[in-house]
Structure 1
């Protein structure tokens, strides 16, 4: 049996510092660090799995939502990992509330239910935005420093080799003339379709990352990528079309990429919070897909409205 690969932690983007607001710190923390009106609910492993071919489900079909008080607070329910082969993820629900102010009340009610393992708030996942200076990319690649020329020489001895790299991010311009030939697959887990394209210019982060990893090389245009045509990009859009500035469906994006053949999953984003759903997902995927590699952020940074530095992603 193959040994599980070590999860190598590396950063693809620069460190960015955020300034904390010293006033009204605790009142702002929830709005800044958590989704205001959604939670994850994981039922116990002894409970049956709800079978579905899509993520949206009728609330009346979910046993723990039939409570009169709870049903009055819930707007809709989803099985966000319905496509997964991980049974723990298949028992994880995403619940949207009618009113954000009821979020603590409903979590307390769920905690009274003996069929539920946990109910938790959903952390907001932050992108590390890149500068817009016109010469930034000349400074950014530093290929000589990381000795990419020597690495590219080794690619010559990899006939027909292909590495499927998932870019789980806000969006990717899959029809970009310097990317299109190296796009392997495309999916949008946020808006639930197969188009990872950005709906507006606000969604540029994922395209930048995809270009660094897998832009077409030796085509006389644009940039040369680290992947040098060996890397094929699985573009996974995990941000809503209604721009929020966050990676809204980050965990679903990772799970979808793993289920659909990604060998490397790049996550150039992070959160200062640790979620049980995140831990279940990552640990489960490590043991299910032992030949898969995660590339995630690991930075000591100041997140918004925090006064102490937070370690980014603790996988």
Structure 2
């Protein structure tokens, strides 16, 4: 069936709408209706050609092609937009590697196995030792070029490097701390002591981010993780009974101070993240040119 015959019983765009469309002045949602209608209606396309000059018509079709080819947001991205998150920020969060189901599922599995071992040993020490490392690992992985399929896009995006880092950090921390909190609920017998991982987690993450400005996204979290493990080993060897020092009241106070100092240092070094992105872009361009 020809376009003329198929569309003869339907509505047609009126002349005023077609003239406004050709001039680029037609506003949504009328614009979307005319865009969609022109794809299937040959008479309206001919009418548009009569009222539009060639340049304006070409511009209109380019706009239509862009609308048709634009990627549709996923469920998570659409949900963020519905809650008022800006389009570009929602797209950036949706593309964060460690917010994918594979990463979140792995974290849940690790936490579940840790909770099971806590019940077997009747001590939350293993959970308290492991939980602070998960947010640090998540933040580090979200900023690692090798694991980020959108890394090149983020490097050239018109966003301050520090803001880009903070957007992804908040997203990863929200997910990681939320999963840790769910695991904590599975340990009701230990009361508030089961929450002793929170301040160390914030301290480790803030320290790792502050050191990333100088040491890079791989070495910095590796050193912080190693330092945390070494601290726990020493605490275990020197503590014959009772709670390990990092999870006592004094240890929690030290963790809070470390987190605050690291956050202040991170803010002071924020401009280094732009310099790092520029260096990465230059290095990538040089490598591509050489190859």
TM range (shorter): under 0.3
Structure 1 or 2: larger strand share? 1
Q: Over alpha carbons, which structure has the higher Rg?
A: 2
More helix by share: 2
Normalising by structure 1, we get a TM-score of 0.21
Q: Could you state the TM-score of these two structures normalised by the residue count of structure 2?
A: 0.22
Higher RCO by CA contacts (8 Å cutoff, separation 6 or greater): 1
